[in-house]
A = this chain, B = another copy of it.
Amino acid sequence: MMKLLSHPASPYGRKVKIAAAMKGVKSQIEVITVDTSLPTNPEINKANPLGKIPALIVDGGAQFYDSHVICEYLDSLAPRPVLFPATGPDRWKTLTLGALADGILDAALLLVYEKRFRPEEKWHEPWMVRQRSKIDRALDILEQSPPTWADAPDYGHITTACALGYLDFRHEGRWRTNHPKLIGWLDAFSKAVPAFEETRPPKA
């Protein structure tokens, strides 16, 4: 039995849970909830010295991270659907979309951390503007041409959906006011991948 260290609120953990469901390996994974908002947490530090979730511990004890790596590992466990195109232009397109969506998440997390880990007098508006503008530019590119899929969504689409889901969860879904095509895109993803709804984070 594999062990996944994660948290219901983690968008990176959500990526992995969706990938596991799509690959049909969910039943082989025990999910262990860890809290990374503590000053330090020995349980996650032991699995990943960076203290970040998700981390996967496989049979035999090897530890894999980050979410990109874990998703690619899970993809290797079953032939279909293909979450990571093997090579060629499709692969670089999928991986770059994943990096774009992870970048949205990284910036959105830094905005949350600004308020979680600092007293209000240490909040710095120009830093927050910098992070918001990364998110806004990335969303505008996605809105111009939402990423399509053929047979099934892949890793790039999963990551994009989890990024939008996190903006709904932690940033009041403000992205919805001016990205109508992306709203339709997320609805279509949610219909194609039931695990998206099943992994929705609990209300904050």
Give A residues with C-beta under 8 Å from B: 39-40, 45, 48-52, 62-66, 68-69, 72-73, 76, 87, 89, 92-93, 95-96, 98-100, 102-104, 107, 113, 117-119, 122-124, 126-127, 130, 133-134, 137-138, 140-141
- A180–B50 alpha-carbon span in the complex (Å): 21
**Chain A contact residues: helix, strand, loop or mixed:** helix
Specify which chain B residues have a CB less than 8 angstroms from the CB of A40 in the assembled complex.
133
CB distance from A119 to the nearest CB of B (A): 8
* Copy count, this protein chain: 2
The 9 A-B pairs of least Cβ separation, nearest first, read A49-B137, A50-B103, A69-B95, A66-B99, A49-B138, A122-B124, A49-B141, A118-B124, A50-B134
Specify which chain B residues have a CB less than 8 angstroms from the CB of A98 in the assembled complex.
69
B117 touches A51 (CB 8 A): no
- A79–B40 alpha-carbon span in the complex (Å): 43
